[in-house]
Amino acid sequence: MPSRRRVLGLVAAGTLPVAGCLAAPSDPAVTTTDASATDTTTTATEREPVRGGAAEATVERTVTDADYRYVESNDTVRYPATMAGDEVVEYDYEPFEEWGHVEGASVAAEYVRSLLDERLSGEETPTVGISTRGEQDGFRIVVSLTTRLSRDGEVLSEPAASRHEVSRATPHSVDATVQFAGRTHEDRYPVYVTERTVQNE
């Protein structure tokens, strides 16, 4: 399975549209307590994730980013492991197949977001990210719907579209093909829709 450091490095670089998906609760209706940057304590309750109900999607991308370099002698890819703003602080190396799996997940997530932009016309697009939960050998793409409540239960914000509407617009899975330095990697990523309620305490 691709290294967590590789995933977190990509998140830091802003190349993955991920916001908290890597540490999602493992139980379908689990309640967790967090403290935000403003010291506001919140409780989050999540419903059972559902698979996207639309047809499978296919996407291809050729990677041309100069920060990546293929090393033919050992079939690895050099990638930005640590970022400081837009600057690369440290590079690391990863076997091409593992690098391709992570890069493919990024490509798949971005494509799902673009599809939802089109299919939910006029509505605010839900957050789309990547998760390892429930996937022993790889990633899943996660479309997240979040309702935020005040301490008294007043709705502060809620998704523009219902879970049913989003599920119907979301592909069941995405077949992503990544091409880089004359090499090709193909992977299939399942896509899920999650819904949770976050309440201030």
pLDDT tens for the chain, 201 residues long, are 444 455 544 443 333 444 333 333 333 333 344 544 445 677 888 888 999 999 999 999 999 988 999 999 999 999 988 889 889 999 999 999 999 999 999 999 999 999 999 999 777 788 999 988 765 668 999 999 999 998 888 898 888 889 999 999 999 999 999 999 999 999 999 999 999 898 887
Question: Measured between alpha carbons, how far is 180 from 55 in angstroms, rounded to an integer?
Answer: 27
Q: Which residue stretches of the chain are H helix?
A: 4-13, 96-119, 163-169
pLDDT at 171: 98
User: Which own/partner pairs from 179-183 qualify as long-range (CB within 8 Å, at least 24 positions apart)?
Assistant: 179/60, 179/61, 179/62, 179/63, 180/62, 180/63, 180/68, 180/70, 180/77, 180/100, 180/103, 181/69, 181/70, 182/70, 183/70, 183/96, 183/100
pLDDT at 100: 94
Are 70 and 181 a contacting pair, CB within 8 Å? yes
* pTM of model > 0.95: no
Residue 198: both structure tokens together: 């976050």
pLDDT at 159: 87
pLDDT at 31: 39
Question: Measured between alpha carbons, how far is 159 from 120 in angstroms, rounded to an integer?
Answer: 12
pLDDT at 175: 98
Residue 194: both structure tokens together: 């999650």
- Which residue in the block uniquely carries the two structure tokens 């190349």? 15
As beta bridge partners, residue 46 has: 196
Contacts of 177 (CB under 8 A, 6+ apart): 58, 59, 60, 61, 104, 184, 185, 186
Q: What is the DSSP string of 121-179?
A: TTSPPPEEEEE-TT-TTS-EEEEEEEEEE-TTS-EEE--SS-HHHHHHHSBSEEEEEEE
